[in-house]
Structure 1
Amino acid sequence: MQWRVPRALPALKLAGAAALVALGLLFAEGDQVRLVLAGLAAAALAGWALRDLLAPVRLAVDPAGITVVSGFAGRRRLDWGSVEAITVDRRPRLGLTTEVLEIDTGDSLHLFGRYDLDAPPGEVAEALRAARPGPR
């Protein structure tokens, strides 16, 4: 099984970057600072979209362990023996409850939100626990 960013998300980010450039050109009116700031924001958003295109699969599981995205677009393999805990952190914020999947290896903590997985983190946590061999 694997979980990935929603397929439409990189396109939305790229459209947002293009909109920032267009707005910067439209409203800069000779102000180079506004134009540079709009360009920097657009570049950051385009870089974020590029990460989604280069490493769309954020999390994968098989009988041997879990593969997580690491760095900008790398992958890191976590054997089941190194995984200490799989939990979901739920917090109320601004009237909404957010969930974050946490995979703790003792040496590192890997966090995944709803838009990293294109699925509710609680469901993914249950699927990971079910895929783990041996006693749960």
Structure 2
Amino acid sequence: MCAGLGVYWWFDDDYRGVILAVPAAVLVGAMGLRDVLVPVRLAADESGITVVHGFAGSRHVPWESIWDINVDVRRRWGRRSEMLEIDTGDHLHLFSAHDLGTSPTEVAAVLRRRGT
């Protein structure tokens, strides 16, 4: 859609619109590419968790290094949002329901059971 608007504004000689549409199209395309290339952002096994952020690669965190697993719930404008927070001391890993593919509350419960 952003690319389509950019083409429309290009032929309409509205270059300010093109300047806005092109970076937006690149950003949306990069986010879509990230979802295709790295569909799994969090994986757990008996040794710990593996966390993937963006295109930067993955990081394995043993269960002993995880300080806290928490779900931040916020209500704003009549909507409820949840974020899974995994605190490893040196990093705070945040995951939304979109990143996880399911409710962060359910994932937190599973991780707490596996970590004990």
Q: TM-score, normalised by structure 2?
A: 0.92
Cα distance change of structure 1 residues 59 and 75 upon mapping to structure 2, 3 Å threshold: same
Where relative contact order (Cα < 8 A, 6+ residues apart) is larger, the structure is 1
Q: Which runs of 4+ in 1 moved over 2 A?
A: 70-73
Aligned position for 1:131:
114
State yes or no: 1:25 paired with 2:25.
Answer: no
Matched pairs, number: 115
Aligned position for 1:114:
97
Q: TM-score, normalised by structure 1?
A: 0.79
SS in 2 for 1:57: coil
| Contact 2:67–2:87 (CA under 8 A) maintained in structure 1 | yes
List alignment gaps of at least 5 residues for structure 2: none
SS in 2 for 1:107: coil
CA RMSD of aligned residues (A): 1.3
Q: Percent identity?
A: 48
List alignment gaps of at least 5 residues for structure 1: 1-18
Shift of 1:39: 1.2
